[in-house]
Structure 1
């Protein structure tokens, strides 16, 4: 038994070191691309893309909890569509229509439309025959107000409309990237910060080595959390639980009863104009919320989840309601968590790497 364990530990160590070395030189790789992202009030991170010939410019949200790719089109007559740029397939000489349709309900609302194919350019990356949806209807209270014209999903193909090849799968199949990896840096400390990386990871964006976490279900970018604690006491994931890393969400979401417990422990109370308000004048005594994942602690300190407003110390970053998604305890780790770390999504090895952002 001890020999078997030693061999297993040696193999795990070898795999970790070998996999890490695969991405050491991504920044110098010609098949590696970095795209700047724009931060909109710490709620959305959007990037510029071009569709068609000649190219039509749009801003899209890169969303790891979604797998399809859609943009607002000239065929959408909903009030919210008029406030955004529209893709017009008649203006593209390379556009091809398909017989597929999209009818998708997600956190932003219901999007309906039809799929077409065209050339898509993202930074120095050019993807031919990329399938995407042209919206005909956008039923949403949120979408009219957002600073983007579409969503580019980076979730697993099992989330996509049947018969549709997602964007990242096209990158892999066409050999546009050398590694089946993408990564996000959403912090604001680096001078040219807030980027999405395609085909690898630039290690100058993080401190220390990446800690790898197995994907527990190849649908969402879903992982197993060991526990959630404050002041050394377990307050969530008592018997381990699941979490989804979601670049399309700004908050940390969890079961309502546990979110209420966190608010109580940090001394927050419900308030108008602010989800919760902390009555204390200083937040130095408020403890961090620590997510322990695959044996590693990932703390969210008060300065990460508390906003200073004219009303006082406001907590808007913890949101309940995941019990409506599933009966088992599930959390969504959105941008407020991801800003603290470089997040590497490794499709080839079905895992996620996290390391503190510089």
Structure 2
């Protein structure tokens, strides 16, 4: 169920934290769209290009996990503003939304809100092509430039030079029913397609309005109807949403939000072979890791070959700790088991093997268990117990 909320803004000079608050919405989880092979292929396609060579073949279900079990919110583009629902993705670095000139045959584009450059007095249309490859095909379109806003106050907007992808072709069929219109990348500019700067760069540059160059996620994984999906805050942290301390880990690479992962333990026993690396990715639903380690976890938690778990066993499932900066970030069964709307359950873990790449991808299953902070200014990621 899509949960609709309003934007809230606050100002530090009025005695309130300098936060831009973006309400997060969430989708109803569907067991039918869970496909182990598709999720694995999607993750490989998303990361493999920056670590090694990838295949060019399409994979029909490659993006199904991109729209299932995801959290998203709204931004505005242009003058007068046009509103779009976007997936906030810390695992990519480009903003793109559907374009007015996409063909009638592109059902994904036609099913979503489209950007009309001619309806914005500040839009600069270009013929510069842009193409972003995914497992199911490529997002193709052109680069336009306009104002991008994160709230109802124009102070939290970019100027009209902000570039973004205006999509005339969307990848595969899985975006047809996606609850969001486009994707807002929040990783680092070094991996942005065509070196297009991110909208957040301009927001962070204004130190008076944005004293802290960071974004924080509070995600609510409760499946009940009429429950708030969560909140994304820019330029500061909401202390009412977490308990101190925040565990900080510096980045090992300014590409993705990649950090050092010291160890992973199951019921206090290490199941890895020393320190490794992990990418913290809000655009990925699951926790993905080395096949041998994930197989051990799946066996210990009683998951079948498709990841299915008996929901009645959740209270007795073992704790799994991710050791970050000397601190155990503990997940219990309620954290790492995904409950679907039909009453079934599945493991939140997935195998992945990227030669030369990170060993782990920490997606929403991990992020949703904590108050998660992506600190651009200090080049670090932080986690605290969410309240």
TM-score bucket (shorter structure):
0.7 to 0.9
Q: Does 2:177 align with 1:177? A: no
Judge conservation of contact 1:26–1:201 (CA < 8 Å) in 2.
Answer: no
Give 1:111's aligned residue: 139
Q: Does 2:194 align with 1:194? A: no
Judge conservation of contact 1:46–1:60 (CA < 8 Å) in 2.
Answer: yes
Q: What CA distance in whole angstroms lies between the structure 2 residues aligned with 1:121 and 1:158?
A: 23
Judge conservation of contact 2:261–2:324 (CA < 8 Å) in 1.
Answer: yes
Give 1:303's aligned residue: 334
Q: Give the superposition deviation at 1:289.
A: 1.5
After superposition, the C-alpha distances for 1:48-103 in whole angstroms (9 at most, x for unaligned) are: 11111111111011110111100011222222211111111111111002453321
Judge conservation of contact 1:187–1:357 (CA < 8 Å) in 2.
Answer: no
Judge conservation of contact 2:303–2:309 (CA < 8 Å) in 1.
Answer: yes
Give 2:23's aligned residue: 36
Give 1:53's aligned residue: 79
Secondary structure in structure 1 of the residue aligned to 2:258:
strand
Secondary structure in structure 2 of the residue aligned to 1:342:
strand
Shift of the 161–315 alpha-carbon distance from structure 1 to 2, 3 Å rule, reads same
TM-score (norm 1): 0.84
After superposition, the C-alpha distances for 1:282-313 in whole angstroms (9 at most, x for unaligned) are: 33332012111111101110111224569986
Give 1:153's aligned residue: 185
1:215-234 correspondence runs (5 A): 215-234=251-270
Secondary structure in structure 1 of the residue aligned to 2:115:
coil
Give 1:10's aligned residue: none
Q: What CA distance in whole angstroms lies between the structure 2 residues aligned with 1:184 and 1:109?
A: 29
Judge conservation of contact 2:73–2:86 (CA < 8 Å) in 1.
Answer: yes
Judge conservation of contact 1:183–1:196 (CA < 8 Å) in 2.
Answer: yes
TM-score (norm 2): 0.78
Judge conservation of contact 2:71–2:229 (CA < 8 Å) in 1.
Answer: no
The 10-residue stretch of structure 1 (29-38 or 216-225) with the greater mean CA deviation from structure 2: 29-38
How many aligned positions are there? 327
Shift of the 159–29 alpha-carbon distance from structure 1 to 2, 3 Å rule, reads farther
- Which of the pair is proportionally richer in strand? 1
Q: What CA distance in whole angstroms lies between the structure 1 residues aligned with 2:79 and 2:343?
A: 51
After superposition, the C-alpha distances for 1:137-193 in whole angstroms (9 at most, x for unaligned) are: 11223211210111111111101123411111121235552221111111357x866
Shift of the 249–259 alpha-carbon distance from structure 1 to 2, 3 Å rule, reads same
Shift of the 54–329 alpha-carbon distance from structure 1 to 2, 3 Å rule, reads closer
Judge conservation of contact 1:26–1:200 (CA < 8 Å) in 2.
Answer: no
Q: What CA distance in whole angstroms lies between the structure 1 residues aligned with 2:113 and 2:244?
A: 41
Give 1:85's aligned residue: 113
Which structure 1 residue ranges, 5 or more long, are not aligned? 1-24
User: Who wins on radius of gyration, i.e. which is larger?
Assistant: 1
Q: Does 2:151 align with 1:120? A: no
Which structure 2 residue ranges, 5 or more long, are not aligned? 1-11, 30-68
